[in-house]
Amino acid sequence: EVQLVESGGGLVQPGGSLRLSCVASGFTFSSYWMSWVRQAPGKGLEWVAKIKQDGSEKYYVDSVKGRFTISRDNAKNSLYLQVNSLRVEDTAVYYCARQGPGYWGQGTLVTVSS
Amino acid sequence: DVVMTQSPLSLPVTLGQPASVSCRSSQSLVYSDGNTYLTWFQQRPGQSPRRLIYKVSNRDSGVPDRFSGSGSGTDFTLKISRVEAEDAGIYYCMQATHWPPTFGQGTKVEIK
């Protein structure tokens, strides 16, 4: 069974940083593109970033370029999102998702507030 | 960015009746490889999104056959042939032909 389990969210002040993690199981992690997608409270979905199987290609939505960094460790079946210079509008549930995305994690909530 | 426009945004439906959600894109979603990367998701209250349909009309494993997708170019439709209670939730279309992938605003399906 495919499982994606996110962690690392929390309450942070504007300008702060967090590192989100996603541990994958039930499939060959190194064979898939992986992504982060976010959803502000009560709002719709926004794709944040994606990374190729070997980490050689990374793509970001304009609103997070230069502030967020996606990475992966295939040996640990893990996906990461380093989020810096956080803004109030970055408040959202951040989902780890497998290519497609056909599978989603349960999400981790990031709240940016003073 | 490609704008995805769904209608209606709210859809009250009687159990056993059909339902239809429209999704229109601001640009053609036909990719250079000939595929059309239009996906439908269902999000039940308090849950993560679940993919129902990919590449316009391909149903995911485990998705009931009362769900179907159709369309081409810029106009797409998700149909539920006979709505069941478990179908309540928000439905999103998403395009992945152009970067960045973008989602529609969502259509809330409510059971009357």
Q: What is the pLDDT of residues A36-66, one digit of tens each?
A: 999 999 999 999 999 999 999 999 999 999 9
Phi, psi of A48 (to 5 degrees): -105, -50
Q: Chain-centre distance of CA A64, in angstroms? A: 12
Residues of chain A with C-beta less than 8 angstroms from the C-beta of B54:
100, 102
Residues of chain B with C-beta less than 8 angstroms from the C-beta of A105:
48
Structure confidence at residue A86 (pLDDT): 98
**Which amino acid, residue A98?**
R
Distances (CA, A) of B25 to A33, A44, A50, B32, B72: 24, 16, 22, 17, 10
Which of A61, A100, A103 is nearest residue B100 as measured by Cβ atoms?
A61
Contact B103, B23 (CB under 8 A): no
Instruction: Report A:21-80 residues touching B (Cβ under 8 A).
Output: 44-47, 59, 61-62
Which strand ranges, in their side-by-side order, compose the sheet holding A78-83?
A3-7, A18-25, A78-83, A68-73
Which of A46, A95, A100 is nearest residue B48 as measured by Cβ atoms?
A95
Q: What mean pLDDT is reported for chain A?
A: 97
Q: Say yes or no to pLDDT of A99 above 90.
A: no
Q: Chain-centre distance of CA B93, in angstroms? A: 4
Give percent above pLDDT 90 in chain A: 96
Residue B95 parent element (H or E): strand B89-95
A94 vs A76: CA distance, rounded Å? 20
- Pairs of CB atoms within 8 A across A/B: 36
Strand B38-43 and strand B19-25: the pairing is unpaired
**List of residues 6+ apart from B65 with CB closer than 8 A:** B59
- Cα-based torsion angle of the residue sequence B82, B63, B59, A38 in order, rounded to the nearest 10 degrees: 110
A21 vs A80: CA distance, rounded Å? 5
Low-confidence ranges of chain B (pLDDT < 50): none
Structure confidence at residue B46 (pLDDT): 92
Nearest CA in chain B to A93: B48
**Which amino acid, residue A33?**
W
How confident is residue A100, by pLDDT bands cut at 50, 70 and 90? confident
Structure confidence at residue A9 (pLDDT): 97
Contact B86, B98 (CB under 8 A): no
Structure confidence at residue A101 (pLDDT): 83
Query: What is the per-residue pLDDT across A64-89, written as a single tens digit (0 to 9) for each?
Result: 999 999 999 999 999 999 999 999 99
